[in-house]
């Protein structure tokens, strides 16, 4: 009984500590994972699915939220380089400065695709030397991301590390079942040929086996130009993609023009992250939407067109 009482007191103190923890999440997907691993924490989320995470306004409310944060969880790999350093400077919170334990960059926990040499050219576009930072769109990476975040949180909250780790292991086990279901549903997705605008969904398409045959951006992060669209149109004539796939925050006018000129294809516009307030269930539902959209598109493509 004495041991049980001591364990209960330790748990209560741990829960009270977590309840007081302020977490600043740069993107909704990381907020959802924090809710899964540390549900007692108080969260502020800097961006939404309706915003381009590369570029947001450093609003006073975000500065204030980062100032009181105990932990910040962000993508890293340069995704937030256009706005997070300004927030960190103005917030003046030593806990969430670069290199501090409280500044958690999720890119540290996985290997990125498509690394590019650093360049100082203003005409290079939105180049990320470390690689494509949209790795959250690969569902197969989420178990390792959960374990990585759990490890980082456990170092900050050693009294809670065991329960955080247990939550991460439970998440990974449940996620494995979802992965099997998604892979089954996406069988044959290598028949799908897609045009995109930016490399936002590259990890998801790689997971599914879908092929990207054109990018409406002349360079990463540079909006479509008339000249590049004309070149893309000429290259796609006679073998039009089944769809042009965009993120919710992207302007669809260029995609609509291309589809109209080709006389073929669908416009698919889907969120590149979860909706506000999502948790593990929200993450699953979001991937369900992506998987079903691609599976439905693949079903319209004859096997011979592969």
CB neighbours of residue 3 within 10 Å: 7
Q: Look at residue 194 and tell me whether its pLDDT is greater than 90.
A: yes
Q: Look at residue 116 and tell me whether its pLDDT is greater than 90.
A: no
Q: Are 69 and 76 in contact (CB under 8 A)?
A: no
Output the pLDDT for position 305.
52
How far are the Cα atoms of 1, 14, 96, 169, 170 from residue 7, in angstroms, in the given order?
10, 10, 31, 22, 22
Q: Do residues 202 and 169 both lie within one domain?
A: no
Output the pLDDT for position 302.
84
Q: Alpha-carbon distance 176 to 173, whole Å?
A: 5
What is the domain extent for residue 27? 2-109+126-180
Q: Which two tokens stand for residue 18?
A: 């977590």
Output the pLDDT for position 129.
80
Q: Alpha-carbon distance 80 to 196, whole Å?
A: 22
Looking at the domain assignment, is residue 25 inside a domain? yes
Looking at the domain assignment, is residue 137 inside a domain? yes
Encode pLDDT of 41-67 as tens digits. Answer: 999 999 999 999 999 999 999 999 999
- Name the pLDDT band for 72 (thresholds 50, 70, 90): very high
Output the pLDDT for position 114.
87
* CATH number of the domain to which 84 belongs: 3.40.50.1980
Tell me the average pLDDT of the chain.
Answer: 91
| Between residues 25 and 16, the one the model is more confident about | 25
Output the pLDDT for position 303.
78
Output the pLDDT for position 261.
97
**What are the phi and psi torsion angles at 194 (to 5°)?**
-125, 145
Number of domains, the chain: 2
Looking at the domain assignment, is residue 11 inside a domain? yes
Q: Do residues 200 and 175 both lie within one domain?
A: no
Q: Look at residue 145 and tell me whether its pLDDT is greater than 80.
A: yes
Looking at the domain assignment, is residue 118 inside a domain? no
> Please, is 16 exposed, middle or buried when counting C-beta atoms within 10 Å of its C-beta (0-12, 13-18, 19+)?
exposed
């Amino acid at each position: 009984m004495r041991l049980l009482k001591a364990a209960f007191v330790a748990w209560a103190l741990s829960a009270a500590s977590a309840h007081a923890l302020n977490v600043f999440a740069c993107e909704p997907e990381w907020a959802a994972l924090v809710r899964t691993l540390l549900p007692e924490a108080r969260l502020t989320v800097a961006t939404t699915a309706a915003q381009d995470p590369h570029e947001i306004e450093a609003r006073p409310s975000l500065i204030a939220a980062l100032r009181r944060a105990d932990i910040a969880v962000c993508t890293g790999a340069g995704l937030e380089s256009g706005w997070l350093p300004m927030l960190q400077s103005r917030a003046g919170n030593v806990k969430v400065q670069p290199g501090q334990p409280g500044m958690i960059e999720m890119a540290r926990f996985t290997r990125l695709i498509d690394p590019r040499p650093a360049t100082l050219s203003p005409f290079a576009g939105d180049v990320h030397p470390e690689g494509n930072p949209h790795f959250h769109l690969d569902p197969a990476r989420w178990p390792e991301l959960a374990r990585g975040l759990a490890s980082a949180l456990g170092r900050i909250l050693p009294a809670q590390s065991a329960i955080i780790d247990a939550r991460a292991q439970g998440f990974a086990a449940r996620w494995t079942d979802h992965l099997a279901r998604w892979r089954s549903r996406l069988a044959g997705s290598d028949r799908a040929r897609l045009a995109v605008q930016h490399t936002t969904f590259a990890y998801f398409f790689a997971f599914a086996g879908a092929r990207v045959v054109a990018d409406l951006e002349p360079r990463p992060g540079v909006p479509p130009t008339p000249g590049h669209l004309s070149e893309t149109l000429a290259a796609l004539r006679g073998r039009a993609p089944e769809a042009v796939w965009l993120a919710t925050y992207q302007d669809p006018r260029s995609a609509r023009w291309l589809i109209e000129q080709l006389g073929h294809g669908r416009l698919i516009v889907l969120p590149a992250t979860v909706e506000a307030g999502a948790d593990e269930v929200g993450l699953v539902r979001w991937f369900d939407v992506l998987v079903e959209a691609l599976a439905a598109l693949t079903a319209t493509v004859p096997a011979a067109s592969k």
